[in-house]
């Protein structure tokens, strides 16, 4: 008996590393000191570029959106989803990413699929200005079904202590601004899959007239990054707080940044909900309260700023080809979202 007959192909692993090495190297910044294949990734934080830096780290996964990728045999955007999700998670504290690590686990390693995944990781890292410093590819026969995999990511970034955003200064009267999402991003897929594939019995290739595309294409729209749009405002101190609208929707994520004695009053009519969300709600007969707690409903990032700077913030975002909309304000309350 040998390792290959037990389900682990070392040669496939080596071929995967050979294919992805150049992809990772294309993301390397001046701080990277190691090569792909080292036991650990090395990164030097240039002290001349910082006054009092604070490191910010986050880890996340793609969730059951992976199931859609398996059905569609489309793996080129899953890495984009993962990187952008993690980058947004540290952006809300004012940090920009320095480097990223990934963990890919599968039952049987397919070098072509792995290369597509890492190509997405590398593209997103380049767009966010961070290095794909390394990662782990694990072949685990008998643990994952053939053709399936799991993907997780870990990002490390930095923020100057003087521009750290923690929401403590948020006060009654502050303005709540929403930035549009590109779809479901990476949350709510367990409910969406149940509606689409179990309740309606559709396939990923089914064309939905109301959406103007196949349901698979609509559900696989990449999770976008807000770094380039919002970071300039961070450095200017124009933002008091930010919330990345992921699992829990507006209902659970906005309160995470609110100080005691405040609440967020959100006007549900302030923005047009994208057709995908309305279609899912009708198809699954999902209650309103469940929708806003499961999906982002077309708002992927929330920005809180003082009234005196709200117009400046809106103009700056418009100049960066964003479509910001004032969706509410901060009121007195008990750290909750109040819809109207």
Task: Dump pLDDT digits (tens) for 199-221.
Answer: 999 999 999 999 999 999 999 99
Which pLDDT score, from 0 to 100, does residue 207 have?
A: 97
Residue that the structure tokens 């294949």 belong to: 37
What pLDDT sits at residue 44?
Answer: 94
Q: What is the pTM of this model?
A: 0.95
173 falls in which pLDDT band (50, 70, 90)?
Answer: very high
What per-residue string of b and e applies to 264-279 under the rule 16 or more CB within 10 Å gives b? bbbeeeebebbebbeb
DSSP state at residue 199: I
* pLDDT tens track for 221-253: 999 999 999 999 999 999 999 999 999 999 999
CATH classification of the domain holding 41: 3.30.1330.10
Q: Do residues 188 and 70 share a domain?
A: no
Same domain membership, residue 328 and residue 183: yes
Tokens encoding 93: 């504290």
| 298 belongs to a structural domain | yes
- Check: CB of residue 31 under 8 Å from CB of residue 44: yes
* Domain edge (last residue) among 109, 134, 163: 163
- The answer to whether residue 8 scores a pLDDT higher than 80 is no
pLDDT at 5 over 90: no
Cα distances from 224 to residues 70, 86, 229, 232, in angstroms, run 21, 11, 11, 17
Q: What is the pLDDT of residue 2?
A: 67
What gap in Å lies between CA 165 and CA 92, rounded to an integer? 7
pLDDT of residue 11 exceeding 90, the answer is: no
Same domain for 234 and 303, yes or no, is yes
> Could you tell me which of 232, 187, 188 has the C-alpha nearest to residue 91?
232
**4, pLDDT greater than 80:** no
Q: Are residues 20 and 142 in the same domain?
A: yes
pLDDT in tens, 275-304: 999 999 999 999 999 999 999 999 999 999
Q: Give how many domains the chain has, as a whole number.
A: 2
pLDDT, tens digit, for every residue of 19-51?
Answer: 888 999 999 999 999 988 888 999 999 888 899
The Cβ of residue 39 has, within 10 Å, a number of other Cβ atoms equal to 6
Q: Which domain holds residue 185?
A: 175-339
Q: Do 28 and 77 share a structural domain?
A: yes
In the chain, what percentage of residues exceed pLDDT 90?
Answer: 89
| Average pLDDT score over the chain | 95
């Amino acid at each position: 008996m040998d390792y290959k007959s037990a389900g682990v192909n070392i040669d496939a692993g080596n071929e995967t590393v050979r294919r992805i090495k150049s992809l990772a190297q294309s993301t390397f910044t001046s701080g990277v000191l190691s090569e792909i294949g080292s036991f650990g990734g090395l990164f030097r934080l240039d002290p001349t570029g910082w006054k009092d830096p604070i490191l910010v780290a986050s880890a996340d996964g793609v969730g059951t959106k992976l199931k859609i990728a398996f059905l569609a045999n489309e793996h080129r955007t899953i890495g984009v989803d993962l990187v952008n999700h993690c980058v947004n998670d540290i952006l809300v504290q004012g940090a920009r990413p320095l480097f990223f690590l990934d963990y890919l686990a599968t039952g049987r390693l397919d070098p072509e699929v792995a290369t597509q995944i890492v190509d997405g990781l590398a593209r997103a890292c380049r767009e966010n200005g961070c290095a794909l410093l390394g990662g782990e590819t694990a072949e685990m026969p008998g643990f994952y079904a053939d053709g399936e995999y799991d993907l997780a990511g870990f990002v490390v970034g930095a923020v100057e202590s003087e521009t750290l955003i923690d929401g403590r200064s948020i006060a009654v009267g502050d303005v709540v601004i929403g930035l549009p999402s590109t779809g479901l991003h990476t949350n709510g897929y367990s409910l969406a899959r149940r509606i689409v594939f179990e309740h309606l019995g559709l396939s990923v290739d089914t064309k939905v007239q109301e959406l103007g595309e196949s349901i698979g294409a609509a559900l696989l729209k990449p999770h976008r990054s807000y770094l380039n749009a919002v970071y300039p405002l961070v450095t200017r101190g124009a933002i008091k707080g930010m919330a990345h609208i992921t699992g829990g929707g507006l209902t659970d994520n906005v309160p995470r940044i609110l100080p005691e004695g405040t609440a967020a009053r959100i006007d549900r009519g302030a923005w047009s909900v994208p057709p995908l969300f309305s279609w899912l709600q009708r198809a699954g007969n999902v209650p309103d309260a469940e929708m806003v707690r499961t999906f982002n409903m077309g708002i992927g990032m929330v920005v809180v700023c003082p009234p005196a700077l709200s117009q400046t913030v809106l103009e700056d975002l418009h100049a960066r080809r964003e479509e910001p909309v004032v969706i509410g304000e901060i009121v007195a309350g008990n750290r909750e979202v109040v819809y109207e």
